[in-house]
């Protein structure tokens, strides 16, 4: 077993992930789909254990054996940065390795909406990037930090689990802290972060009540806070944050969140029509007065209507974003139907009925 050769092959095939699971050949995720690597037999527990030892330190292996879970990162000169997860399954180790570019991509290179540039340069408030696992949230935030790094001079502090992109010093001072090795938890790091004189704070994920409460408190001190979530829409991102709070605190949480939110992006990575990779379709909700009022009143279910009726200020629903990519011939009709929420709505947007091919996913 030589995991370095597998990772070089994954890089050559432009794969986003490498999966090593017992009783399966090595698998690559290419353009969102898993495919086995030709010429490889099914993997044994010993194979994966050997691969695990090749890319981890003794300290990381000790942590894994204590907790049976491990998130870690590393870099290979010819492959780039790697975000890795090791987990125990049926008494053996499974590995999932995400391949990240050596260089932080720009907002323009990723084809992201221009509003990302505006949000990155804000001086205060809360920006959330949400979407399913593997939708490119971390890369979007990295591109926004990169844009800030080029255009402003500020102190950025990031708290990540693990660190995925390493930022060069351009115009900003960027302090990157990794969960586990640099701090014990998001909440612990956030308790002391104001002593570090930050202007912008990136929190890898608001995954629990303590972190969400600390993020909201920091945003109230006049800092720009960037974070991620796993909700499938911008409205549900708000709902999930509020639901982290106990019932008797939710009304206050709604009011605080409403006063702080300046933008929520929900993205899905969809395959390009020409087969050259994937592109992000991004739903955008901005913190204008109607949005803030609905969040304050807890009427989250009405937020999609506000997004659809305020496109002139930059808001756009996921279906509208997908329809726009289709009309530009960036994605296919099959992709449009596979990822949209309302088929009738997108057919109105594009002005025609799409016939899905037999066998298309």
pLDDT in tens, 147-181: 999 999 999 999 998 888 989 889 999 999 998 88
**Per-residue pLDDT for 102 more than 90?**
no
pLDDT band at 275 (very low <50, low <70, confident <90, very high): confident
The answer to whether 295 and 286 have CB atoms below 8 angstroms apart is no
Q: Cβ neighbours of residue 263 under 8 Å, at least 6 residues apart? A: 115, 119, 125, 127, 128, 284, 285, 286, 287
Same domain, 96 and 161: no
Same domain, 93 and 216: no
What would the two tokens of residue 284 be? 């955008």
d(CA 239, CA 242): 5
Domain that holds residue 188: 107-316
Q: Note the pLDDT tens digit of each residue in 4-28.
A: 999 999 999 999 999 999 999 999 9
What would the two tokens of residue 116 be? 């990302």
What pLDDT score does 356 carry? 59
Q: Note the pLDDT tens digit of each residue in 50-70.
A: 999 999 999 999 999 999 999
Question: Minimal CA–CA distance to 208: which of 183, 227, 232?
Answer: 227
Measured in degrees and rounded to the nearest 5, phi and psi for residue 150 equal -80, -35
Q: Note the pLDDT tens digit of each residue in 105-134.
A: 999 999 999 999 999 999 999 999 999 988
Domain count, the chain: 2
**Per-residue pLDDT for 314 more than 60?**
yes
Q: Would the CA dihedral through 176, 117, 320, 257 be positive or negative?
A: positive
What pLDDT score does 13 carry? 93
**Per-residue pLDDT for 358 more than 50?**
no
Burial call 184-215: b when 16+ CB within 10 Å, e when fewer: ebbbebbeebeeeebbbbbbbbbbebbbbbbb
- Least confident span in 34-38, 217-221, 261-265, 304-308: 34-38
d(CA 221, CA 124): 9
Burial label for 25, CB within 10 Å (0-12, 13-18, 19+), is middle
| Final residue in a domain of this structure, among 100, 121, 144 | 100
| Final residue in a domain of this structure, among 42, 75, 100 | 100
User: Does some domain include residue 330?
Assistant: no
Same domain, 95 and 162: no
Question: What percentage of residues in the chain have a pLDDT greater than 90?
Answer: 83
Same domain, 85 and 141: no
| Final residue in a domain of this structure, among 100, 128, 153 | 100
Same domain, 155 and 79: no
């Amino acid at each position: 077993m030589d995991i370095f050769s597998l990772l070089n092959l994954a890089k050559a095939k432009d794969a986003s992930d490498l999966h090593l699971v017992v009783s399966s050949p090595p698998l690559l995720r290419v353009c969102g789909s898993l495919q086995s690597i030709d010429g490889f037999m099914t993997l044994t527990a010993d194979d994966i254990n050997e691969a695990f030892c090749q890319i981890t330190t003794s300290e990381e292996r000790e942590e894994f054996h204590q907790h049976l879970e491990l998130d870690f990162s590393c870099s290979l000169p010819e492959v780039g940065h790697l975000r890795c997860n090791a987990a125990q399954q049926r008494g053996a180790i499974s590995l999932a390795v995400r391949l990240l570019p050596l260089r932080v991509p720009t907002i323009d290179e990723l084809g992201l909406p221009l509003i990302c540039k505006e949000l990155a340069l804000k001086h205060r408030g809360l920006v959330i990037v949400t979407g399913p696992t593997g939708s490119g949230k971390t890369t979007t935030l990295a591109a926004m930090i990169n844009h800030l790094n080029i255009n402003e001079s500020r102190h950025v502090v990031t708290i990540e689990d693990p660190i995925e992109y390493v930022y060069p010093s351009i115009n900003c001072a960027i302090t990157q802290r990794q969960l586990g090795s640099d701090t014990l938890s998001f909440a612990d790091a956030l308790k002391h972060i104001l002593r570090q004189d930050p202007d912008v704070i990136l929190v890898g994920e608001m995954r629990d009540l303590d972190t969400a409460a600390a993020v909201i408190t920091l945003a109230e001190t006049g800092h720009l806070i960037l974070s991620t979530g796993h909700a499938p829409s911008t409205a549900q991102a708000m709902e999930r944050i509020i639901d982290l709070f106990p019932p008797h605190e939710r009304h206050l949480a709604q009011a605080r969140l409403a006063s702080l939110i300046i933008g929520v992006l929900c993205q899905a990575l969809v395959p390009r029509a020409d087969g050259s990779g994937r592109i992000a379709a991004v739903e955008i909700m901005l913190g204008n007065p109607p949005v803030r009022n609905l969040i304050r009143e807890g009427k989250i279910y009405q937020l999609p209507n506000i997004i659809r009726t305020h496109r002139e200020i930059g808001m756009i629903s996921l279906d509208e974003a997908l329809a726009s990519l289709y009309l530009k011939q960036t994605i296919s009709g099959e992709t449009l139907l596979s990822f949209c929420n309302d088929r009738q709505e997108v057919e109105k947007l594009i002005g025609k009925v799409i016939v899905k091919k037999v066998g298309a996913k």
